[in-house]
Structure 1
Amino acid sequence: MKIRHLLLAISITAIWGLNFSVIKLGLTTVDPFILAGVRFTLCALPAIFFIPKPDVQWRYIASYGLVFGIGLWGVVNLGIQSGLSAGIASLVLQFSAFFTILLGAWTFKEAISRYQIAGMGIALCGLVSIISIVDGTVTATGLMLVLLGALAWSAANVINKKARTTQVFAFLVWSSAFSPIPLFALDYAVNGSTGYRELVNQLDYISVLSILFQVYPNTLFGYWVWNSLLKRYPVSTVAPLSLLVPVFGLFGSAMIFDEEVSLNKIVAVSLIVSGLGVGLYGQRILSAMFKRREQPKCYSSQVEHPTDSAPDTVSVTACLKRTALLPTGRIS
């Protein structure tokens, strides 16, 4: 990956990590469901008038919008409002990767590998470490809600896989149109008109900036760049960088809200990120290690001859072929 693309990918993971703190800032004056509703309204409009509908059945577009908008971000917003810190929320939401593995096994009959089982076990130890945190940044209600959001995210991933779309950005924009009305209706059903009166009377520049950040850098720009990188580079090159999201999430919460980064949180981050690494990339890492050990060693391109001290071109060429440098002449 080129350096500028690597830096761009890391910047996107930083935006996604910081987004949890930005959400918390918005929740100081805006109700969780209204905040999510406004976010997805702006994700859909006016972009939907300029981006053609993806070649996907309406049921996939609608169901993805409902699950992603309400089940994921509406519920995560509620979890953060219920007392879970932004940093811990960014970490707990990563359990969606394991829920996706389990749902994939149930829906698509995909086999679960021993690496995935080991990764789940390691990550669960990290969850236990989170439960043991007693500094006020973790609440049982908030934790359960964000875990529910992680489950919804995995369901959205399954819907996305069933849709088989290659027009990911268009799919995101069009599906966003199905989220706002149910979110606004849910808030009215729970809180009546209170949330809307407070939105009009208490909306400040922090809330506006929070909404704009969630819509443009985080959702539209972030997903567009990430999917562009996935088209340019192998998934195995781009996807592992997403493990940085909870790291930036915890860092952002510490910087913006002075969240204490205790030993329990460091242990939780280490265990959950390690669990993700083992579960998602364990097989690939182990295969790469064994492949490296089995590669032949090339000692010298100079071969001693009784009558000729010139390089043995045939021997050098054969060695390069064995180490996968030829015929392209470069290491990929």
Structure 2
Amino acid sequence: MKSTTEKIFTHPLGIMAAATGATFLWGSAFPMIKLSYEELEIGKEDLFGQILFAGYRFTLAACLIMFMMKLIGRKISYQRGTWQSVAKIGFFQTLLQYVFFYYGLSGSTGVQGSIIAGTTSFFQMILAHYMYASDKLTYRKVVGLIVGFAGVVLVGVGKGSLAMGFGIAEICLLLSMFFGGLGNILSKRESAKLDILYMTSNQMLFGGLALTLIGACGTGIMPFEFSWTAMWLLAYLAALSALGVVLWNTVMKYNKVGSVSMYLFLMPVFGVFLSAAILNEELQWIVWAALALVVGGIVIVNRAKPTSAVSEVVETNPNLLHRDSA
């Protein structure tokens, strides 16, 4: 029998609410990070300062999740035999993703970063194709990916530049998206045996502390002067990371990768909308067209297809034909 959590996160409305909520939170990080850098005087070329700030953010996010676990009576102590799983996820999903992301973004434009960020969906669905026997790429998924990515490209048009010359910065951004997608897939696999809150908090703690150590090597452990505004911004970024990753890992746990990966295309679109609202940046009509394309891609990928009673049984129980590699 399905648990209440599983019922919520496998219902179409539950999937849409959780996945859209996570991407909305991550989209809000773009303007909030920009405001944080201005408040703390972190320059565009200050790579170690950016990595250190990211370390603060994810370490605090881990602590917030652990505090929530304590409030609801969950154990936060180390569970024997789990360090390898947690470290593996933290290494890819937090450490490598954000080291390459900040290095790549420091030598690229925001538009290029937003467009390349859309490739996470491609990487997740391609990885799932090879790692899960019941989550293969189909014609419908490929069409949905193309339509959704077209929406992300339109966001770039709306920002006024599509110059996509590829150098080391752009390669690093692509690697960041690959490691992020791989981390999401690994989280899905390990969530079959680990509690979501325990897994997420500990992988963030591992990755956050590693980022802090790397950043401190170049700037020292506390180079910033925190105002009340800077502390509020850091707290918000930590909270959105904690809630966003918990929501995303939970919806990934109970659903096929291909059915939820498309929602990642919403992240740069939300980033543009929220940047316009928070930073008073111009919002052009073409962004609305981009949002329509992204939503269209999500609908195409998740559109229900008619199945016979036998195929429905096979779809929900793939082990009847072959063992899921997960």
Which segment is superposed worse, 75-84 or 178-187? Answer: 75-84
Call closer, same or farther: CA 1:81–1:259 in 2, change over 3 Å. Answer: farther
- Do the aligned residues in 2 keep the contact of 1:27 with 1:35 (CA within 8 Å)? no
Partners of 2:299 and 2:208 lie apart in 1 by 35
- Do the aligned residues in 2 keep the contact of 1:96 with 1:151 (CA within 8 Å)? yes
- 1:212 CA drift (Å): 0.7
- One-letter identity of the residue aligned with 1:42: L
Call closer, same or farther: CA 1:56–1:157 in 2, change over 3 Å. Answer: farther
Call closer, same or farther: CA 1:131–1:209 in 2, change over 3 Å. Answer: same
- Do the aligned residues in 1 keep the contact of 2:115 with 2:153 (CA within 8 Å)? no
Call closer, same or farther: CA 1:227–1:118 in 2, change over 3 Å. Answer: closer
Residues 143-168 of structure 1 show CA distances to partners (whole Å, capped at 9, x for unaligned) of: 65544332222100221233233511
- 1:257 CA drift (Å): 2.1
Match of 2:210 in 1: 182
Residues 224-275 of structure 1 show CA distances to partners (whole Å, capped at 9, x for unaligned) of: 56777899x9899x96877754443221111122332335544444334433
- Do the aligned residues in 1 keep the contact of 2:120 with 2:181 (CA within 8 Å)? yes
Of 30, 34, 43 in structure 2, the residue corresponding to residue 20 of structure 1 is 30
Match of 1:162 in 2: 189
Match of 2:117 in 1: 93
Which segment is superposed worse, 64-73 or 92-101? Answer: 92-101
Residue 173 of structure 1 pairs with residue 197 of structure 2: no
Partners of 1:105 and 1:132 lie apart in 2 by 31
Number of aligned residue pairs: 276
Partners of 2:106 and 2:279 lie apart in 1 by 14
Partners of 1:253 and 1:118 lie apart in 2 by 29
What are the within-5 Å matches in structure 2 for residues 1-332 of structure 1? 14-28=24-38, 29=40, 30=42, 31-45=49-63, 47=66, 51-53=76-78, 57-79=82-104, 81-82=106-107, 84-85=109-110, 92-108=116-132, 110-129=135-154, 132=157, 135=160, 145-163=172-190, 164-187=192-215, 192-193=218-219, 196=220, 200-216=223-239, 218-224=240-246, 245-278=267-300, 280-282=301-303, 284=304, 286-287=305-306
Partners of 1:162 and 1:226 lie apart in 2 by 13
- 1:23 CA drift (Å): 1.9
SS in 1 for 2:30: helix
What is the alpha-carbon root mean square deviation over aligned residues?
A: 4.3
Gaps of 5+ in 2: 1-7, 43-48, 309-326
- One-letter identity of the residue aligned with 1:100: Q
Match of 2:45 in 1: none
- Do the aligned residues in 2 keep the contact of 1:14 with 1:245 (CA within 8 Å)? yes
Partners of 1:89 and 1:212 lie apart in 2 by 24
- Do the aligned residues in 1 keep the contact of 2:188 with 2:252 (CA within 8 Å)? no
- 1:33 CA drift (Å): 0.7
SS in 1 for 2:206: coil
SS in 1 for 2:143: helix
- Do the aligned residues in 2 keep the contact of 1:84 with 1:137 (CA within 8 Å)? no
Match of 2:311 in 1: none
- Do the aligned residues in 2 keep the contact of 1:20 with 1:90 (CA within 8 Å)? no
- Do the aligned residues in 2 keep the contact of 1:36 with 1:180 (CA within 8 Å)? yes
SS in 1 for 2:210: helix
- 1:56 CA drift (Å): 6.2
SS in 1 for 2:59: helix
Partners of 2:107 and 2:36 lie apart in 1 by 14
- 1:210 CA drift (Å): 2.1
Call closer, same or farther: CA 1:7–1:209 in 2, change over 3 Å. Answer: farther
SS in 1 for 2:32: helix
- One-letter identity of the residue aligned with 1:33: I
